[in-house]
Amino acid sequence: MPKKRKQNSKILKKKSRLTRDAFIKVARRTGIIVCALAALLWVGAWVWFGGLIQQGASWTEQKIYAVTADAGFQLDNLLVEGRENLSADTVMQILDIEQGQSLFAADLEDVRMRLEALEWVETVVVQRRAPNDLYIKITERQPIALWKRAGQNNLFLIDHKGHVIDVPLLSKFKDLIIISGEGGRDEAFSLISQLAIYPEILSNVDVAQFISDRRWDFVTKAGIRIQMPEDNFDYALGRLEQLRIQSEILAQPIDLLDLRQEDRVVARPSEGHVLEYDYIAPVSTKAGEGASGYEL
């Protein structure tokens, strides 16, 4: 074999051996890295699922709370403002805090959300007031009327937004006006705001029924049905107030008072009674919805 060919053969064998050795070294290094990563992942999973990280974080958190409490930032006073119908026991159960704990242990956002989930609560402000006070301002929903749902006899409190306050009915709200009729709940605040201008009328109205989603009928505590117009409601209320003052109409023995027409008022006497007033004359025309009576 020629000398040059032998030398080339030796070089090729040497290169092949170097390539194989390099591959083995790379494979070993790669294997070591893979094994190391696998070990780290295994240890990490063991630590995580074993709860060591959470336990460590919880331990650190508790230590921080203990240090801040020892430093004087401990909860000594809970100040709650605005609570009227919401019971103190309910508030304390929701807060789940203890006197002497760190002032920073309470999650303010969580406290706010839990309190605002209560039926009586509209809004809540929660503040830490160093060094020892937790301040909570509660804005409660204010009932303005009782709402009777269609087809049911139960009464529910509603606020100025028509929001149903789904709580047991307290006796102090039993004299609120009862709102009924489709759409009446949404119009309740507007109605009561207008009636509030005439307190004597408001105090006499027991039920306000929204008729055909367009106008109101009142039923007084004496059982008089007052038919109000769809338009010029304020004007009709003014006429009703004038009649109340001049003739004590709401104390008269009548079943029906029709104010739906601007040019006249029609009253229907109760059975067995006759209205004996010089300014009241009998009318032969129907007073709407089949009601006939006397024109004032």
Name the more confident of 44 and 126: 126
- Mean pLDDT lowest among 5-9, 56-60, 197-201, 242-246: 56-60
Alpha helices in the chain (DSSP H): 3-49, 52-70, 88-95, 108-116, 184-195, 199-204, 233-247
- Mean pLDDT lowest among 106-110, 118-122, 228-232: 106-110
| pLDDT band per the 50, 70, 90 thresholds, residue 129 | confident
Domain ranges of the chain: 71-140, 145-295
User: May I ask the CATH architecture of the domain 71-140?
Assistant: Roll (3.10)
CA distance 222 to 73: 62
| pLDDT band per the 50, 70, 90 thresholds, residue 121 | very high
Looking at residue 37, what is its pLDDT? 52
Has residue 181 got a pLDDT over 90? Answer: yes
Has residue 11 got a pLDDT over 50? Answer: no
Query: Quick one: which of 40, 97, 100 has its CA closest to 69?
Result: 100
CA distance 190 to 195: 9
- Superfamily of the domain at 145-295: Cell division protein FtsQ/DivIB (3.40.50.11690)
| Residue-wise pLDDT tens digits, 34-72 | 555 555 565 555 544 554 444 444 444 444 444 444 444
Both structure tokens of 146: 């009782």
Has residue 275 got a pLDDT over 70? Answer: no
pTM for the predicted model, two decimal places: 0.68
- Mean pLDDT lowest among 5-9, 41-45, 150-154, 190-194: 5-9
